[in-house]
Structure 1
Amino acid sequence: MRSAVLRAAGLPRPYADSRPLSIEELSAPAPRAGEVGVRIVRASLCHSDLSVVNGSRPRPLPMAIGHEAAGIVDVVGDGVEGVSPGDHVVLVFVPSCGDCRACSAGRPALCYRAAEANASGGLLHGDAVLRDGANSRVNHHLGVSGFADYAVVAAESLVVIDKDVPFDIAAMFGCAALTGMGAVLNTGRMTPGQSLIVFGLGAVGLTAIMAAAQIDGTRVIAIDPNTDKHALALAVGASAVGTPEQAAALVAEHAGDGVDLAVEAVGSARVMEAALALVTRGGALVSVGLPHPEQQLDVQALQFAGMGKRLLGSYMGDAVPARDIPAYIELWRAGLLPMELLHSDTVTLDEVNEALDALEEGRVVRRIIALDGAAA
């Protein structure tokens, strides 16, 4: 199997020159009990991948990167039910165990056992199975390692989808759609007539806008310093767009004394502080981005008890993937979720380092990687 492997984090940009991801031949492992072998057809490059490459999201190295992907089941291990060879699947980066405190509370995105496995570079049902040419361990990225033409994953990392869903679209449902839409629908619980401001117009921020567009009477303000993304925000459902410097004026114009809900999809403590200040009394800020671990918030504490504001963390959009992915695909099928607008272009695995530069520079929303040689 061919895989993009990160052996050293924090290499200098441009990544097209420093080449942090090497394309390596790894031994293709057989699935163990509870695991499934998947032929990856499409993967999608996300800022969370970039956060591992630049070192702001520390992970055990070497690591086979990629956590947003879709493919075809090749073989199933012992004890696996509900998944068969030939099934089309979306891979999910939190494989819920079903037993822990979080899973028992109906919050599988916060599964304790999955968090431990993902942090260690292993899989839900055991240690890492990837090996390089020297037979040395290569860690899994969030139980997926999707920048490869093959992956062994826990059966709980899969959601079976209809075979008529294009893989270019399907790949984006494993992270972008779950995270952005879930931030609004599951974490923020937005209701008809409310107002929303979204900071950061990557795929997560744009799918948050799509989610709000499904709710009657919503007003959505989209904020990004990259004005090239403003037209796309309007196309997916935003009511108004602007730069960070224009945010306060836009809120005053469209939401009076503040928005009911803010979504921070940048990964910056400073942006979180600015967003919280624009939330009305009793409103909420949903934190979706992944700031560097050293960043600290500096906000007026009285905003919480004195104004009833809430700061809500949202990991994977508080999703229940087996429920949410099919539901979101149905919205796409009905023409209400224009995921195809997020698909900037398609490249090959050998172009993955150049793709990192394009994402870092804001030139793309979702660059799709073709693992079946069919890039266009």
Structure 2
Amino acid sequence: MARAAVLHAVGDKELDLRDDVTTVDPGPDQVKVRIRATGVCHSDLSTLSGVLPSVPPAVIGHEGAGVVAEVGDRVTNVRPGDHVVVNWTPDCGVCAECMRGEPYLCMGFIGAAFSEPRFKLGDGTPAFGMAGVGTWAEEVVLPHQGVIKIAEDVPFEYAALLGCGIPTGVGAAFNTAKVRPGSKVAVVGAGGVGLSVIQGARICGASTILAVDPNEAKHPAAKQFGATHTATLENLEESKGLLTLGQGFDQVFEVVGKSSAITTAWNLTRRGGDVIVVGAGAADDNWEMSAFSLLFEGKNVKSSLYGGCDLKRDIPMFVDLWRAGKLDLDGLISRRIRFEDLNDALGALARGDVIRKVVLFD
């Protein structure tokens, strides 16, 4: 039996924190991972509210790291005892997206999130894992492509961030936008992923980085991670005029998950610049733009799913950047908490009081 945080119905404000959950046995191509650290991410909140789809009962959580406990007969990439980061979008390696070098678009394993329960509650009820994962549990069973081996000296709480927040944010700057030295960049939304985008833009050599957030309490953290300037929605035009002579920014990242934030990003972008959509929005939150503006302003709207990352390639790079002192992982962790604090952590995240809380399992 293991502890796990279970969502019984979409819209529930709190999770059922249980200690009677078990996993299925790993198949020949699967691994069982003992989770040691897992992040509390805004996407977890979005699953509770129904913005992101799930099949309750579901174990929540998708950003995690741990130790391999068991491997199936055909697994060769890891073995018991290895330290691993959880990859919530495993790549099958054979589909058209994978063959094009776009593993973050692979749908090979996504269906399992809605069709294959990998947990069982104490009364025998099958339970699914959020995004096919469910890292808010002490143990998970995943396809072997769903784990990336890391060095044992990387702290588990840092490794957990490498499973979502860092690749989504830093990857958006590196892979999707390909920010160039001297670029002028704006980031709409200074939460955990927004701060990772800011770090990525700083590492790429952006000369100007404007962090935009209506909550001024987030502005100091944005500057800590590399923002050169900050703004609220009320003084955006003033900042745009001051920093770009009114022309707009080369690249603007939307990291909120709202159509209104995409519009804000569009209005901040220069003619011919790029709008990078990073936030996960609701299916019924439609964004509108006139056909005239879309053509004649020459702006490009780009989706950045999972930061355009190939985790097998990018996680070692992120670790190297952390070792070199260029990527701040510790600063992204507001607090290390216990399993029993999860519901309080969700409330704090919803209020915007924290960047990232990380659950540490014994």
What range is the shorter-chain TM-score in?
Answer: over 0.9
Alignment match of 1:253 (pick from 217, 237, 242): 242
Within the candidate set 104, 113, 130, 2:119 is matched to: 130
Distance in structure 1 (CA, Å) of the matches to 2:118 and 2:280? 28
Q: What residue in structure 1 maps to residue 153 of structure 2? A: 164
Q: 1:319 aligns with which of 309, 314, 317?
A: 309
Alpha-carbon distance in structure 1 between the residues aligned to 2:203 and 2:22? 45
CA displacement at 1:251 relative to structure 2: 1.9
Select 1:71's aligned residue among 66, 71, 86.
66
Q: What letter is aligned with 1:277?
A: N
Q: How does 1:1-376 map to 2 (within 5 A)?
A: 1-11=2-12, 15=13, 19-118=14-113, 120=114, 122=115, 127-256=116-245, 257-372=247-362
Contact 1:286 1:314 in 2 (8 A): yes
AA paired with 1:137?
Answer: P
Shift of 1:203: 1.2
Q: Secondary structure at the match of 2:131?
A: coil
**By how many angstroms is 1:177 displaced?**
0.4
- State the Cα distance separating 1:371 from its structure 2 match: 1.5
Q: Determine the C-alpha separation between the residues in 2 that align with 1:91 and 1:250.
A: 39
Question: Secondary structure of 2:53's match?
Answer: coil
2:183 is aligned with what amino acid? Q
Q: Deviations over 1:266-285 (max 9, x none)?
A: 11101111110111111111
Structure 2 residue matching 1:205: 3-state secondary structure: helix
> 8 Å contact 1:258–1:279 — kept in the other structure?
yes
Shift, 1:191, TM fit: 1.2
Q: Check whether the contact 1:25–1:132 (CA below 8 A) recurs between aligned residues.
A: yes
Moved more, 247-256 or 269-278: 247-256
The answer as to whether partners of 1:23 and 1:350 remain within 8 angstroms in 2 is no
Moved over 6 A (4+): none
Distance in 2 (CA, whole Å) between partners of 1:224 and 1:217 is: 19
Letter in 1 for 2:73: D
TM-score of the two chains, using structure 1 as the length reference: 0.93
Counterpart amino acid of residue 110 in structure 2 = A
Residue 218 and residue 9 in structure 1: after superposition, are their counterparts in 2 closer, same or farther (change >3 A)?
same
Q: Secondary structure at the match of 2:234?
A: helix
Q: Secondary structure at the match of 1:115?
A: coil
Aligned residue identity for 2:221: L
Query: CA separation in 1, counterparts of 2:193 and 2:126?
Result: 32
Cα 1:69–1:217, aligned 2, differ >3 Å: closer, same or farther?
Answer: closer
Q: C-alpha deviations, 1:205-245, integer Å up to 9, x for none?
A: 00101011112353100011111111111111111011122
Q: In the aligned structure 1, how far is the partner of 2:31 from the partner of 2:140?
A: 8
Cα distance in 2 for partners of 1:366, 1:108 equals 26
Task: Provide the identity percentage.
Answer: 35
Letter in 1 for 2:224: A
TM-score w.r.t. structure 2 length? Answer: 0.96
Q: CA deviation at 1:300?
A: 2.8
Describe the SS at the equivalent of 1:49.
helix
Q: Deviations over 1:291-315 (max 9, x none)?
A: 2211111223323210210111111
Q: Which runs of 5+ in 1 are unaligned?
A: none
> 1:248 & 1:335 partners in 2: Cα distance?
34
Name the CA shift for 1:217/1:135 in 2 (closer, same or farther; >3 Å). Answer: closer
Please provide the CA RMSD for this pair: 1.3
Q: Which letter does structure 2 place at the counterpart of 1:336?
A: K
Whole-Å separation in 1 of the counterparts to 2:351 and 2:191: 11
Question: In 2, Cα distance between the equivalents of 1:303 and 1:193?
Answer: 27
Q: Distance in 1 between matches of 2:107 and 2:228?
A: 39
35-44 or 212-221, larger mean C-alpha shift: 212-221
Q: Work out the CA distance in 1 between the residues paired with 2:217 and 2:196.
A: 17
Structure 1 residue 24, shift from structure 2 partner: 4.3
Q: 2:99, 2:111 → 1: CA distance?
A: 17
